[in-house]
């Protein structure tokens, strides 16, 4: 009986100690940053249909209930997309292709004199190249949507990490005039 109460006391003390350490997992729902901090990021317009989809995915993940107001941070994103055939038959036709989308993003701190945080994320997804052009186009669009969802989650995590650690923001260096 005495041994059992010591074990219960030890487990209780361990639980209390673990909750007081301040540990926050980066891959939690809020990515280590509060939802208020993520909602303070204004996401700029991104070119093309893929950019619109990526922006919508980011808005849903970072600020689902945010209203238009003055934002403390602004996020600018530029997308690049490439396709490549992977599985080639003897008749030189492809049966599989890879779709790679990379996003260069810049998070600007509007409140503290324009500090910036830059990063690049990449997602590659494959799809089947079929005899039907419609089926191939549908598979390619599905691969694009999967890549954009993956990019939005990765960008959200990196932005959340930057908001938790403001020292990653770098002040831009003004250009000095050239001498002749």
Q: How high is the mean pLDDT in each 10-residue block of the chain (180 residues)? A: 75 67 53 71 91 93 68 90 83 83 92 81 92 91 95 93 81 60
Looking at residue 53, its pLDDT comes to 95
CA atoms of 142 and 148, how far apart (whole Å): 10
Strand 115-128 to strand 94-109: parallel, antiparallel, or no bridges (unpaired)?
antiparallel
Give the pLDDT confidence score for residue 13 in this predicted structure.
73
pLDDT value for 23: 55
Indicate whether 14 belongs to any domain: no
In a domain, 81, yes or no: yes
Query: pTM (2 decimals)?
Result: 0.74
Number of domain units in the chain: 1
Q: Locate 1 and state its tokens.
A: 């009986």
What is the reported pLDDT for 175? 59
Question: Is 17 contained in some domain?
Answer: no
| The pLDDT of residue 31 | 47
Residue 172 has what pLDDT? Answer: 64
Q: Per the domain annotation, does 19 fall within a domain?
A: no
Phi, psi of 78 (to 5 degrees): -125, 130
In a domain, 16, yes or no: no
Place of tokens 């990765």: 154
Residue 59 lies in a domain: yes
Helix, strand, or coil (residue 3): helix
Report CA-CA distances (Å) from 74 to 118, 122, 126, 174, 177. 12, 21, 32, 20, 28
| Domain span at 48 | 28-168
The CATH number of the domain holding residue 60 is 3.30.160.150
**Whether the Cβ atoms of residue 105 and residue 77 lie closer than 8 Å to each other:** yes
Q: Is residue 177 part of a domain?
A: no
Per-residue confidence (pLDDT) for residue 109, from 0 to 100: 86
């Amino acid at each position: 009986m005495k041994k059992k109460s010591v074990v219960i006391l030890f487990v209780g003390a361990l639980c209390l100690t673990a909750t007081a350490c301040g540990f926050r997992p980066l891959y939690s729902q809020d990515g280590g940053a509060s939802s208020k901090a993520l909602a303070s990021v204004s996401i700029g317009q991104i070119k093309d249909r893929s950019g619109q989809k990526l922006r919508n995915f980011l808005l849903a993940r970072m600020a689902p209930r945010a209203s238009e107001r003055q934002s403390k941070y602004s996020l600018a994103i530029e997308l690049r997309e490439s396709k490549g055939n992977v599985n080639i038959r003897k008749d030189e036709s492809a049966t599989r292709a890879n779709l790679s989308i990379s996003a260069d993003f810049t998070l600007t701190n509007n409140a503290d004199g324009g500090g910036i945080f830059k990063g690049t994320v990449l997602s590659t997804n494959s799809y089947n190249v079929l005899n039907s052009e419609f089926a191939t186009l549908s598979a390619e669009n599905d691969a694009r949507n999967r890549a954009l969802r993956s990019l939005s989650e990765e960008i959200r995590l990196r932005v959340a990490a930057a908001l938790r650690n403001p020292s990653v923001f770098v002040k831009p260096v003004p250009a000095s005039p050239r001498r002749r």
